[in-house]
Structures are given as structure tokens and as C-alpha cells.
Structure 1
Amino acid sequence: MPQTDIRPRAIVLLTDVDTSRRDEPGCLYHRDGRPLTTAEYHLLATCTPAEMDTAVAHTQPVGNWMSERHTMQKALISLYMKYAHQMPDDFPGSVYDLMTDDDYAEFEHLAEILSADDALEEPIGHDLD
């Protein structure tokens, strides 16, 4: 079996990060609402561009109807990882503290669009009492 630089655990983690939650800046969550652990942050900080591409491709739905959304998700993850790779282990702040004003504004813009898309995708229940 050929050796690959892509780690399955990294792919699984990347596909499970909830990009819609922004209630606590600097904190990332799983899609089920659990916060990422310290070990998961370390794994995320070491994700390679190939792993990010694989994660995005893995979540790509059949057809092109959501390709723009996935392009934005990839851009959001790439922007986050640009700074996560630079963050020293003993840095007391968050990745967002390292971002330039322009990158932070772009991150916020992408996150806002993705959050709005997530809200539209949730099923709406009509309970009649």
C-alpha cells in the first residue's frame, strides 16, 4: 500500500467542524455542538492543503448545486489555517488575534454567509397544538 501524507483523522475532523457557530470567537465546535478538544485543535493546526482539499471534496454533494458553498467553506478553512499554522504553542490568544484586519473581515464575511446558508438548510417544523 502506498504511503500517503493525508491523515484520515484530519479529514474526519475537517468535515466535522461546524462553520456556522460564532457565539464564542476563538472556539470551534463539532457539528453536534461539542467544543473541539486541545488535541483536536493541534490536529487542525497541522492540517495540510491536501487534507483540506480532500475534506472539501469528501463533503461535495452530487451535482454542482452547492459548489459555491463548498468553495466558500474551503476559503474559510484555508484562511483560518493560514494563521493556525503560525500560532505558537504558548500563544495566549486565539487565531483571530493574529489575523490582519482584512483577513478577519473576509473571515467574518464568509462565516456570515455560511451561517445564513446553514439556517436556510435546517428543516422547519410546523407543530400544531
Structure 2
Amino acid sequence: MPHTEIRPHVVVLLTEVDYDRHDDASRLYRCDGSPLTAAEHALLSTATRAEFSAANAQMRLEDEWARELDALKETFVELLMKYAHLPEGSTVSDVVDIMTDEDYAEYERLLPIVTAQDTLEYLAEHGAD
């Protein structure tokens, strides 16, 4: 079986397509709502089975990261809610001041993840360990 070259730009384009949008059957759109260009349509028509497989694997990985991120955000909220007994008007710094060492370590671990501008990218680069 011949080796098939996977073109990363095709895989990326495949991951950007909104496969659930069916309002205009003659066009494909990205998940952000922007339509694909004629050149992008033409490029997609040349996508190989290997490129579709690679795109599917990437989308599954991104879905897994999103689920992991949701769980981390929930853990972060639960951590802060342990200290919800503070008076109205209290700030996060007030909570941090009274955290146990264990809770503070968890807070420090989660903070850069849940506050990152692009949390999926953060997880991809740094992991969530």
C-alpha cells in the first residue's frame, strides 16, 4: 500500500468545517460562521481518507480537551465555593488568604488553566497535570 502524505493545512481546514450547518446546501461554513472560499471548497474535494482520519482524530482530541477543561473549571468553582461563607463583597484575594495549604496549591494549579485566553491551547502546550 503506498504511503499517503497528510497535508496539515487540509486537516486543519477539515476541523474548521461546521458539519451541522445545513441552511445552504451549496456552501460549507466554518464553525465561526464564515463561509469557505471557492479555493477552500476545491481543496476539500482533494482530501484523502488519511486526512479525514487525521481530522477526525484531532476533533476527538479537542472534544476530550473541552470535557477535561469543563471538569477543571467545575473543580475550580467548587474549590472557591468551599469558602462561600465569607461576607458579601469579599474578593478572591480574601478567599486565598484563608485557604488551607492544600487548597491553595490546587488553586495555584488551576488558576492559569481556567483563566487562560485560549484554554484548549494552554492544555495542549502545558497539560493539566
TM-score, normalised to structure 1's length? 0.44
**Greater helix share, structure number:** 2
Q: Relative contact order (C-alpha < 8 Å, sep 6+): which is higher?
A: 1
TM-score, normalised to structure 2's length? 0.44
